[in-house]
Amino acid sequence: MIRWLSAAIDGQDRGRLEEAFRWLYTFVKPQTKAIIGLMLLSVVASALVLLQPWLTKLLIDEGLLAKDYGMLVSMAITMIFVGIFSTGLSGINRYLHTRLSGRILFALREHLYEHLQTLSPQFYGSRRIGDILSRLDGDVSQIQRFAVDSMFSALSSVLGLAGALALLITLSWELSLLVLVLIPLEVLWLRWMRRKVERQTRIIRERSADLSSFLVETLPAMKFIQAVSQEKRESSKLHNLSNHYLTDLLKLQVTEFFTQAVPGTLTSLTRATAFLIGGYWVIEGQWQLGSLIAFSTYLGMATGPVQSLLGLYVAIQRMSVSLDRVMDLRRAEADIAPPETPATLADNMRGEIEFDRVSFAYPERAHILNQASVVLPAGGTIAVTGPSGVGKSTVIDLLMRYYDPQQGRILIDGINLKQLAPMELRKRVALVSQDITLFRGSLMENIRYAAPSATDAEVLAAAQQAQLTELIDALPMGLETPLGERGSQLSGGQKQRVAIARAILQHPVILILDEATSAVDEATEAEVIANVNRVFAGKMRILISHRASTLSGVDLRIELKEGQLVADNPELEVE
Ligand code: ADP
């Protein structure tokens, strides 16, 4: 099946597609029971649809034309019951169908989201969030629509086609020959059109990603756009993007129209021809009227499925575009591999860190660390210095295992970070950086974010230790006050304190302040640092800053210079 599907699609690498379909199948497989149930329902529904014209034929030929009242009444009653039964069945069918297709859709999206959670900042730095969004949203729905809707439409088409053809031949094999001419013509036409559809669909998916990216990028930056009075420019960008989208959408519409219209017209022609020949036979008395009417209905029923089967052929093409876009996210690999048998950190770990001949460079960039070795003793305050852009944040990213070094080892209490699951490591290290992530929700929920099991009393205590008391008193609902989107109601210094309160609740062994106090004035900074020193006394604190004042009074100073981590005062041993 997977082979067959990938063979049906042009313009893409077969191996890639097979891999993609195999992946897709892992989401369909758990639903096998539901699928079989729905298939059985489809068989019954198709049989019922096929029954209706036959009943009409019986009604006309055996009832009306034969003037048989008993037949007339029994046919009418049968029709009523078949009708009610079909309606009930289609209701059940639709419900089960939505449930099945929803399950597949959500499983797909959740799986992708979990995969995205393993990817590094490097991935997010190089992708447009709007593009990822459109893949997770539009493309995933497109795949689900194909995986479920098309599958059943294919099944009922095959059943409908087979049934209708059998009945057509029963009614008149000579007239049935018309269908044999019609089908190959339609197949040829659609084969010719599908590549065009594929190309235009890809363009549309990309246009839609452009639009979401634009909105995702500009909406959060509205304050800046207003500050530099560029509202008009952004509006006209949106206008251009919309125009491009619309133009391409209309092109696709036209292509799809012709894709459908030509087979549609061919079908009408065939039907008219059948009426002409069959009508002649009826007038000549060689055929019954009911048979002609039933024949024409079955002809419609036979060509409908042919068209939907061929439409499916085009739909596969369209879906393969989305599948490829989604697989592109799936294929993005995490920068770090989780260890096969992860090591654990002792509860009473000390937190000594050693860089052992560590080299690291971003792809196609100069080395940030080049065979750097240094030991950060447990329990002290350590400053990492160096000019902006030299790679201090990257060193922290290495410590938090967002990336692994290309060479050398980073050890914590003698354990290579590569042997630790990122979660095991990160719950022991609290990072307070310059941009603090706040979520919509109350101040309480935000402080509790990294330690969801903390009690209200613990949150309050942490908030007090982080000197948030004044803020809490000033807020209308205290800790329960909602912070608004991204904590827009808080000042830089207040956000900093929220981050520190978070770190306190996390009970880390190592606290890292990455330019954390650069947004506040020196007096506040001194206060924050004194506070941190008090709260985190005895724990390792790593401070990153350019400000000399931040760095005074530390136990050890490490300068990042020419790829080396140089201890400024190595003779100082901190215990
Ligand atoms: P610092 O914290 O010292 O200011 P960073 O660690 O942020 O420096 O950045 C070090 C260098 O690496 C900079 O030149 C920056 O442009 C580059 N850099 C940072 N992140 C990435 C990334 N994801 N991909 C490529 N280059 C990066």
Task: Name the residue of 393, 558, 560 to mutate for ligand 1: max ligand atoms within 8 A of Cβ.
Answer: 393
Domains of the chain in sequence order? 2-330 (1.20.1560.10), 353-572 (3.40.50.300)
Task: Name the residue of 365, 402, 403, 545 to mutate for ligand 1: max ligand atoms within 8 A of Cβ.
Answer: 365
Find the residues whose C-beta lies inside 6 A of ligand 1: 121-122, 125, 362, 365, 368, 386, 388-394
Cα(360)–Cα(368) distance, integer angstroms: 6
Cα 36 from chain centre: 27
Nearest to 380 by CA among 412, 356, 352, 401: 352
Nearest CA to ligand 1 atom 22: 122
Say if strands 564-567 and 556-561 run parallel, antiparallel, or are unpaired.
Answer: antiparallel
Residues in a beta bridge with 96: none
Nearest CA to ligand 1 atom 7: 393
DSSP H or E run through 196: helix 173-218
DSSP H or E run through 429: strand 429-433
SS3 for 205-234, per residue? HHHHHHHHHHHHHHHHHHHHHHHCCCHHHH
Nearest to 169 by CA among 299, 360, 334: 299
CA-based Rg of the chain, rounded to a whole angstrom?
34
Q: Give pLDDT, residue 574.
A: 42
Tell me how far the alpha carbon of residue 543 lies from the centroid of ligand 1, in angstroms: 18
CB 400 within 8 A of CB 561: no
Tell me how far the alpha carbon of residue 114 lies from the centroid of ligand 1, in angstroms: 26
In this prediction, the residues of the chain whose per-residue pLDDT falls under 50 are 570-575
Tell me how far the alpha carbon of residue 390 lies from the centroid of ligand 1, in angstroms: 7
Compute the 3-state secondary structure of the chain and give helix, strand, coil in percent, each to the nearest 5.
65, 10, 25
Amino acid at site 438: L
CB 339 within 8 A of CB 419: yes
Cα(431)–Cα(443) distance, integer angstroms: 19
| Residue 233, both tokens | 């420019």
The answer for residues whose C-beta is within 8 angstroms of residue 346's C-beta and 6 or more apart is 413
Q: Give pLDDT, residue 11.
A: 54
Nearest CA to ligand 1 atom 23: 122
SS3 for 20-84, per residue? HHHHHHHHHHHHHHHHHHHHHHHHHHHHHHHHHHHHHHHHHHHHHCCCCHHHHHHHHHHHHHHHH
Report which ligand 1 atom has the smallest distance to the Cα of 395: 6
Tell me how far the alpha carbon of residue 6 lies from the centroid of ligand 1, in angstroms: 41
Report which ligand 1 atom has the smallest distance to the Cα of 560: 3
Length of the chain: 575
Tell me how far the alpha carbon of residue 383 lies from the centroid of ligand 1, in angstroms: 19
What Cα–Cα distance (Å) separates residue 179 from each residue in 163, 270, 565? 14, 8, 80
Which residue has 């049906």 as its token pair? Answer: 8
Report which ligand 1 atom has the smallest distance to the Cα of 388: 4
Nearest CA to ligand 1 atom 25: 362
Tell me how far the alpha carbon of residue 386 lies from the centroid of ligand 1, in angstroms: 13
Tell me how far the alpha carbon of residue 362 lies from the centroid of ligand 1, in angstroms: 8
Nearest CA to ligand 1 atom 12: 391
Cα(557)–Cα(369) distance, integer angstroms: 17
Nearest to 517 by CA among 463, 441, 479, 466: 466
Tell me how far the alpha carbon of residue 361 lies from the centroid of ligand 1, in angstroms: 9
Task: Name the residue of 119, 120, 362 to mutate for ligand 1: max ligand atoms within 8 A of Cβ.
Answer: 362
Report which ligand 1 atom has the smallest distance to the Cα of 362: 25
CB 131 within 8 A of CB 212: yes
Nearest CA to ligand 1 atom 18: 362
Report which ligand 1 atom has the smallest distance to the Cα of 386: 3
Cα(401)–Cα(27) distance, integer angstroms: 31
Report which ligand 1 atom has the smallest distance to the Cα of 514: 2
The answer for residues whose C-beta is within 8 angstroms of residue 305's C-beta and 6 or more apart is 156, 157, 158, 160, 161, 164
Its pTM stands at 0.76
Which residue has 């062994």 as its token pair? Answer: 509
Q: Give pLDDT, residue 12.
A: 58
